[in-house]
């Protein structure tokens, strides 16, 4: 692996405004739009961590805890949970904030796997991630469990 970086050095925070074009007939944010924003935020985090292009290898899961309304500000926070070899797990937390109502709620959590690639699109070793806080260390350990589960499921489907 190349030089190591602290998890905190690669955090990306993005904020988007939910506009009419982003909603369904009920005035709720479209799931596909949110998935698009999650993928972009996670890709930026992976690229910042590795100082190179990283591509989406898989989306583990996206949990929808609460709906997001037209006019809400959506904040996405992405961080590297763990680096393996060429791949890394990025976790994204999503918050919806209504400035009118003065509320902020955690709406979604997502886990994505990215692969660090060279200019020819070939996988290269990713930069090691150093967890420092208790939360980062917990996410680091949980990422290994999710990876083992992903690999086990991949073998079953092949």
Q: What is the DSSP letter of 52?
A: S
Q: How many domains does the chain have?
A: 1
Cβ atoms of 131 and 140 closer than 8 Å: yes
Q: What is the pTM of this model?
A: 0.92
pLDDT in tens, 139-151: 999 999 998 888 7
In this prediction, residue 156 carries a pLDDT of 65
Under 8 Å CB-to-CB from 65, ≥6 apart: which residues?
106, 107, 108, 109
pLDDT in tens, 74-113: 999 999 999 999 999 999 999 999 999 999 999 999 999 9
* Domain span including residue 90: 2-157
Residue owning tokens 């997001």? 68
Euclidean distance between CA atoms 148 and 96, whole angstroms = 31
Find the CATH number of the domain harbouring 101: 3.10.129.10
Cβ atoms of 78 and 44 closer than 8 Å: yes
pLDDT in tens, 22-73: 999 999 999 999 999 999 999 999 999 999 999 999 998 788 889 999 999 9
């Amino acid at each position: 692996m190349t030089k190591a970086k602290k998890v905190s050095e690669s955090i990306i925070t993005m904020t988007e405004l939910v506009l009419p074009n982003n909603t369904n007939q009920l005035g709720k944010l479209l799931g596909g739009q949110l998935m698009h924003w999650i993928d972009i935020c996670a890709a930026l985090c992976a690229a910042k961590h590795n100082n190179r292009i990283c591509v989406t290898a898989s989306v583990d899961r996206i949990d929808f805890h609460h709906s997001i309304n037209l006019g809400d500000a959506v904040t996405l926070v992405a961080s590297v949970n763990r680096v393996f070899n060429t791949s890394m797990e990025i976790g994204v937390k999503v918050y919806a904030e209504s400035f009118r109502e003065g509320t902020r709620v955690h709406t979604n959590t997502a886990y994505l796997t990215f692969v660090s690639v060279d200019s020819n699109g070939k996988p290269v070793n990713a930069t090691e991630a150093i967890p420092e806080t208790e939360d980062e260390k917990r996410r680091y350990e949980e990422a290994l469990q999710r990876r083992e589960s992903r690999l086990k499921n991949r073998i079953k489907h092949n």
